[in-house]
Structure 1
């Protein structure tokens, strides 16, 4: 596999999540996916994660090799602030012709089955529903290259589903989003994952951010974003964004990957207390050069 070019745009991202409680809470336990590892088309230049009240933060790699942070705050508190600041360099996306022409029978050799097995299975938010399977067969009928199949699926989701903030929640399942024909980037991603996996295409969930330049009109910028990635021999995982009907190119900043949203949530936690929680999230994505 030829190495990608070593130049591209540099981005910095600020992600701040603040929880405010109207009564003291305690025993807060939280897991974070806010720091990216280096991916084939993306290099991490710096990353800092800060937590207030100050506490010990443990850093490790999870089962999907995502950089993960975990912390606990036993004492009472009425405010929790989690902030990450990262700088990354993205490299130009390049998909070789041989990878674009690959067919599913080429996925049976070498280490590909081992690398992709988890991303062909059902997961918490992605099931093997008969309607999903029938739709996937219709969309890929007569198309042999996996790349073209993935494009057909992405374009169908973009065309048939309406982006509507507030119409779903972080707990919305693929089957509900498929029935509603609307949702946000998380739902678009789960639907495409289900369609791909139904016909044997390895597909995983990617979460991160999206830079919306002065001439771009992309949905999901200046917030956490999600998109599917499909595996191709010779190049690895390539992102397809059904929310915006485009490949995940150098405008996309990837933080974590997994089977679905459940594996990559930016902030997930629990606490003890009866205080009502108000959460606010700020995301700023800036192009440096």
Structure 2
């Protein structure tokens, strides 16, 4: 199998100084008959990450209720609320603004190898993201594919790019072909799916050869000249740990690095750790969900 990969596309000039972005995310649940005891956990507010500063964030829930805000195991800002009373509609809205800096990766980080990850402090940091998780496993077939793709590439950066380009070139983006609970093994066999599946497969391939990789969820701004898949919706991409740079985003859905167009909300081992809205309720009514996402650039 050839491991020759296309060179990185040049960074758009508009990203050279970064950008400010605003996101409005609305999720509405309509129930066929009133439900009770709704319990929900949200990942809709970003903390400040390297290359991204949170300028403002507001999460609103209707019917009105007390919302508890805390950080989870991965330091993601998390909201939790309960609605014990009967209700036929639940509306969750988040409004955030961020300032993104240009993505910069030093030449030293681009040539760092897996040997550089053997430092105890780095191993401790990436250990959870080297293991199998609920939706990601390291099967023999995944390992063989990962070895094929990374053969001949010395640095972690080059290996991650080889995996990214293979997924982007080989997989078909097909909405409805998978669902939020689809395991990466199924997506790997199907060679199709959506951004969540592309991300799970890349994470699995990376972990199979000892590259620390984690799941990032958020949003993507599609500028007037961009042709990016996943804009104006929740988006997902893989983050790889590069010694000397930290966690750097690789988006196999679009075949590009996660640059200033990406708004990162939460990180975890896989989708289950970072679902935007996750909950349960008691009731027998049919539930219909509507989700809208608006991502816009703030001129400054």
TM-score, normalising length from structure 1? 0.97
Deviations 1:23-44 (A, max 9, x none): 0100000000000000000000
Question: Which of 60, 66, 69 is equivalent to 1:59?
Answer: 69
Deviations 1:130-174 (A, max 9, x none): 100000000011211110000000000001100000000001000
User: Is 1:126–2:150 an aligned residue pair?
Assistant: no
Question: Which of 28, 32, 40 is equivalent to 1:18?
Answer: 28
**How many residues align structurally?**
284
3-state SS in 1 of match to 2:290: strand
Distance 1:113 1:67 in 2: 24
RMSD, aligned α-carbons: 0.9
Distance 1:109 1:273 in 2: 52
3-state SS in 2 of match to 1:98: helix
User: Is 1:187–2:209 an aligned residue pair?
Assistant: no
Q: CA deviation at 1:8?
A: 2.6
Runs of at least 5 residues in structure 1 that lack an aligned partner in the other structure = 1-5
Runs of at least 5 residues in structure 2 that lack an aligned partner in the other structure = 1-15
> What residue number does 2:162 align with?
152
Distance 1:75 1:236 in 2: 45
3-state SS in 2 of match to 1:115: helix
3-state SS in 1 of match to 2:98: strand
User: Is 1:74–2:84 an aligned residue pair?
Assistant: yes
User: Is 1:215–2:220 an aligned residue pair?
Assistant: no
User: Is 1:271–2:281 an aligned residue pair?
Assistant: yes
User: Is 1:286–2:288 an aligned residue pair?
Assistant: no
User: Is 1:232–2:242 an aligned residue pair?
Assistant: yes
**TM superposition outliers: structure 1 runs of 4+ over 2 Å:** none
Distance 1:109 1:126 in 2: 25
3-state SS in 1 of match to 2:92: strand
Deviations 1:82-102 (A, max 9, x none): 000000000000000000000
3-state SS in 2 of match to 1:14: strand
Question: Which of 91, 106, 123 is equivalent to 1:96?
Answer: 106
> What residue number does 2:42 align with?
32
Question: Which of 261, 266, 274 is equivalent to 2:271?
Answer: 261
